[in-house]
Chain A
Amino acid sequence: MDQQPQDRPTARRLPGPEGPPPGHAGQARADGLRRVRRWSNWTAAALIAATAVTTGYFARASTSAPAPSPAAVIRGAAGQPGTGSAAGPRQPCISVPVATSGGSAVRAQAPVLSCGAGTGVPAAGTGVPAVITTGQWSERGDS
């Protein structure tokens, strides 16, 4: 036999914007909602922070080492390149070659470290060679 509408239990109205209904159950519900909202806020903040850290990590890992900015060069020159810090050793700044690639048995030059001494690099050869540049398959474009 079908249940008639009048047989249903009395419907209870959900708490509205005016706040929870008075009584113990309403107070408990409000506390629960507040707790959930607080957890949700902390979770969102943690997610945002984790995303930022991860993005920074991958950005650093996937980018080849950038050319030193003037600020970096100045800092390297004023400070002591390579000296340690609480976060680990600082990247040194080297302006003169540490090795030579010239085919087997080409002797390497003795390097000298000097930051902030200009960005020019010494030419290893004598005279000015004729340089022909082609960029037909260069992704970056040759300079």
Chain B
Amino acid sequence: MPASLRRTMDSPDPAGPGPAPMGGDPIPPAWIRVGTGTGGVAIAERAALGTSARVAAWPADGLAAALAAVDAELERLDQQASRFRADSELSRIHRTPGTVHRLSRGLAEVVYLALAAARWTGGLVDPTVGAALVTLGYDRDFAAIRPGPPAPRPRGGPGLVPGWRSVTMDGCTLGLPEGVCLDFGATAKGLGSDRGAAAAGWALGRGGVLVSLGGDIAVAGQSPLGGWPVAVADSSDPVSGPEDPGAGGPGQVVRLAAGGLATSSVMSRRWQCDGRPVHHIIDPRTGSPAGGPWRTVSVAAASCAEANAAATAAIVAGRDAETFMAGIGLPARLVSHHGIVRLLGGWPGSRGGLLPGLLPSRLPGTAGEQGDRD
């Protein structure tokens, strides 16, 4: 058993006397139980990684163990790869002069995954977009971004994205050119869900678990009958939309039995920069927020990280998104700025249904593999 999981399972329950209004073990204090109306499944959520985390587990009495395992994984990932934590490993690397850095195994996995996603998508997602995001003002936790006067910094541009090929990995040794700022926005949240689901599945030992990080979802173990029902939302209202899935965008309910499901949207994480609206999905070819006809793309894949990368790449691909998705052959749901929905690669029809199961993995090391990542 990996050491990280051993620690998770052997460590004393950090839950303390948390609320347990529906019975079962006390849950960690940061989590809030979500009412389900029955004891079959237990759900809780909390703020995490600049977004919300939600965990659903069955049998319900395993929720506390699942939450503790997810907590450990999220903290580990945040400490490794956050661009916004001064004490994270990634921030230390960004501050350290030199071009060669020794990484922990956990961060090495994050970097390898980001580079694999870049290669897989032909560079449509790229971990070297960090500087472009910083110039647009996304240099802190999203909740801390405030609209303000134009900042004295250069606008986005292709020169701000040196390209993923400039980054090298040899074992746990990272080669990073001076000044290159890494951002794992296209893969890290999905990886966090994958890690959390796998760890929670181990901690549960039976039944099944769903982990959602800001809507990027991974499942492990056995799903409920017919799969986990998941709403796929799209929001067309840039003001209230990101907080309200019913704000005007077309939605759908699908069922997920294995792997992961992720949605990328230019309608969320929007802010004002120099008086113009911008969003967080950067086109590496231009160094600016991606344009194109698609505002929201959802993808199902063998892992959430893979789905996350594919969904973001489809947004960036713009008019070529359908060709791109045809090339990778994953089920996808694309919503245009005009509200047109396109279902591809076996995505269930408008009445919903089960997403294709047992999809082959396109990215190495992302389909629920567990290892010592410290």
Contacts and interface: CB of A to CB of B under 8 A. Distances in A.
A129 B224 contact: no
B342 A133 contact: yes
Given A65-B257, A114-B37, A100 B245 contact: yes
A99 interface: yes
Interface string B268-280: 1100000000001
Given A89-B58, A136-B326, A103 B251 contact: no
A129 B230 contact: no
A129 B267 CA distance: 17
Interface stretch (A41-49, A50-58, A76-84): A76-84
A4 interface: no
A58 to B, nearest CB: 12
A67 B225 CA distance: 7
B163 interface: no
B341 A129 contact: yes
B238 to A, nearest CB: 12
A82 to B, nearest CB: 3
Interface of A: 62-68, 72-73, 76, 80-84, 88-89, 91-114, 120-134, 136-143
Q: Is the interface of A mostly helix, strand, loop or mixed?
A: loop
18 contacts: A65-B225, A65-B354, A82-B38, A94-B41, A98-B54, A98-B228, A101-B216, A102-B249, A103-B214, A103-B268, A105-B243, A108-B215, A111-B56, A113-B41, A125-B233, A130-B340, A134-B343, A142-B343
Contact of B339 (A66, A83, A130): A130
B346 A140 contact: yes
Contacts of B243: 105-107
Nearest to B244: A107
B257 A105 contact: no
A140 B356 contact: yes
A91 B233 contact: no
Contact of B257 (A62, A64, A97, A109): A64
Contacts of A101: 212, 215-217, 230-233, 261-263, 298
B210 interface: yes
A110 B155 CA distance: 41
A110 B349 CA distance: 24
A101 to B, nearest CB: 4
A80 B59 CA distance: 12
Interface string B218-248: 0000111111111111110000001111101
B291 interface: no
Nearest to A140: B346
Nearest to B340: A130
Contacts of B216: 101
For B189, B245, B248, B341, the residue with the greatest tally of chain A CB atoms inside 10 Å of its CB is B245
B357 to A, nearest CB: 2
A96 B228 CA distance: 9
Q: How large is the interface on B (under 10, 10 to 19, 20 to 34, 35 or more residues)?
A: 35 or more
A87 to B, nearest CB: 11
Contact of B52 (A103, A105, A110, A125): A105
A73 to B, nearest CB: 8
A97 B215 CA distance: 12
A129 B348 contact: no
Contacts of A63: 357
A104 B37 CA distance: 27
A129 to B, nearest CB: 3
A104 B246 contact: no
B43 A91 contact: no
B41 A124 contact: no
A108 B53 CA distance: 10
B353 interface: yes
Contacts of A138: 344-346
A67 B214 contact: no
B358 interface: yes
A134 B271 CA distance: 34
Given A101-B212, A124-B245, 19 more contacts: A65-B354, A73-B225, A82-B59, A83-B39, A93-B225, A94-B40, A99-B231, A100-B212, A102-B235, A103-B214, A108-B52, A108-B231, A111-B34, A126-B246, A126-B248, A129-B341, A130-B341, A134-B322, A143-B349
**A-B interface, 4 closest residue pairs, ranked by CB to CB distance from nearest:** A64-B357, A124-B251, A82-B40, A103-B265
Given A65-B225, A65-B257, A106-B215, A88 B245 contact: no
Contacts of A62: 358
B351 interface: yes
Given A101-B262, A121-B229, A143-B353, A94 B344 contact: no
Contacts of B206: 88-89
B233 A106 contact: yes
A81 B226 CA distance: 13
